[in-house]
Amino acid sequence: MEAKVLRACWKWRNYPPGHEGGGARADAEVLLNAAGRQLLAGMCGVEEDVLARALPSWEEGDTKLRAEDGDPVGLWRIGGAVVGPVAFGCRLCTARRTGAALRAVRYAPRWERVCVRHGRWLLDADANQPLEHLDLRDLPEVVAAQRRWPSVARRAVRAGAEPERVFALGYAVVARWWEQALHWEREAVWPRRLHQIAGGNAGTELERWRIVGRDSVVFPEVVAVADALLDPALAELAWQDSGAGQPRPLPADGAFCRRLGERVGRGWLGPLAATDYGGPLTSWMGAVIRIRRGAGGPPGYGNDPWWLRQEHQPASMAAQLRVLSKERSAPGSGTTWRSAVPAEQRARITSLVNDAEEQLTQLRGAQYGKTADAAQQLLGNLGHAATLIEQAVRETAAAALGAGMALEDLAHWARLPTDVLAEALPDHRKRQPEKSGERVSGGRQGVHGP
């Protein structure tokens, strides 16, 4: 029976959901009222209770279509909003069970994405891209991580933690590393895996493959980090790094992050992980340390080590592909400042702005007393603040340029000539031929160097 003829058996309250750029969504879900479910069960020749066990959304229609009685009624929804993440099924497994290699979609959490039998990573079904799976036959470590995860989940249960929350935290930690890894000169494992996932070479589509392949490439490290965070021995190292009974700032060469780096096969990772302040890993460490000290958490935050802040949750493949599409059509329009600018660069900008603000705050009441004293303080503080602000302008422009913004737009917003701003940005000067007789001037038309 054709799909159009089949759908005509129900009365529909809306239209099938589609992608922003057009095209049907693979993760579209249908909710049916009681009469609609009875009709479908009769067509399939399967008892309703059997379908209820097989289809997680089977009875969801009762809450949405409660007033619809008599006629079979259907309602379209996006699968992820009904039950949870939706992934493609393995076509080879589908063919093995049904005799036809048809496309199938299923509700599948991120820790159940490997088809171990056929060596495939099953991709999210909510993204507007053509692939259903990635080939893992040359990446046995990813398949091995899938086999390992059930034991990690059981360990989480024994520790009194929910496995899905433990996985989510490990996933957030490693996804954050993934974004930083482009600047890690010693990282060799992930590039190799990514090129293999891409069929041998990601080539000119590296940016897209980094989005599509991320979850599969980092999966072994996600499982390893989740397992490590459940280890009481590592929690003890975090406690010792904090000074135990004598509190101190967490060191950049702490034993906890060093051991965690070793657990993921990267002995050099410790200092990089330890100095990634404000991330999910340091939040976990802070909660563990506060629990040992019997101290309360900061306002609005508890001492639950497995609690994941919304801003720490990794962007989905679908969201990143939408951003990439917008970014290619209009640079800067598809990204957010926090995702496009590294944390250390944002911290430098904040520090410069705060220091300039402090210089100006000190001028309150400065226009009293002797003329020479007042002039000295005013000019000294104003000059220092101006230097800090110009440094902040240069740092902000460099960050925006690195995030893909056009130099002409940055110069317009900064109220500077384009060539002056270009000369003030080291990264831009490296890409330009040398120009003789030019210099970066001071005052309102210049951006001073450090």
Render pLDDT for 347-385 as a digit per residue (tens, 0 to 9): 899 989 988 998 888 888 888 888 998 899 899 999 999
| Between 328 and 75, residue with greater pLDDT | 75
Confidence (pLDDT) at 67: 63
The rounded distance, in Å, linking the Cα atoms of 335 and 299 is 30
Q: Which residues contact 153 (CB under 8 A, 6 or more apart)?
A: 111, 163, 166, 167
Q: Is 121 helix (H, G, I), strand (E, B) or coil?
A: strand
Using the predicted structure, report yes or no on whether residue 235 has a pLDDT greater than 90: yes
Mean pLDDT over residues 280-301, rounded?
81
Mean pLDDT over residues 206-213, rounded?
94
Confidence (pLDDT) at 217: 98
Neighbours of 158 (CB within 10 A): 9
What does the pLDDT look like over 406-444, one tens digit per residue?
A: 888 888 899 988 888 888 887 655 444 443 333 333 333
Q: Average pLDDT, whole number, for the chain?
A: 87
Closest CA to 361 of 336, 379, 381, 384: 381
Confidence (pLDDT) at 172: 97
The rounded distance, in Å, linking the Cα atoms of 201 and 213 is 12
| Surface-to-core class of residue 22, CB atoms within 10 Å of its CB (0-12 exposed, 13-18 middle, 19+ buried) | exposed
Confidence (pLDDT) at 450: 32
Question: DSSP class of residue 16?
Answer: P
The rounded distance, in Å, linking the Cα atoms of 167 and 425 is 41
pTM flag (> 0.85): no
Confidence (pLDDT) at 310: 87
What does the pLDDT look like over 104-116, one tens digit per residue?
A: 999 999 999 999 9
Confidence (pLDDT) at 2: 82
Among the listed ranges 51-65, 179-193, 430-444, which one has the minimum average pLDDT value? 430-444
Confidence (pLDDT) at 427: 60
Neighbours of 354 (CB within 10 A): 11
Confidence (pLDDT) at 445: 37
| Between 444 and 280, residue with greater pLDDT | 280
Mean pLDDT over residues 73-89, rounded?
92
Confidence (pLDDT) at 301: 58
Are 399 and 341 in contact, with CB atoms under 8 Å apart? yes
Mean pLDDT over residues 242-249, rounded?
85
Confidence (pLDDT) at 385: 93
Using the predicted structure, report yes or no on whether residue 447 has a pLDDT greater than 60: no
What does the pLDDT look like over 128-137, one tens digit per residue?
A: 999 999 999 9
| Between 445 and 405, residue with greater pLDDT | 405
pLDDT bucket at 155, cuts 50 / 70 / 90? very high
Percent of the chain with pLDDT over 90: 58
The rounded distance, in Å, linking the Cα atoms of 423 and 407 is 11
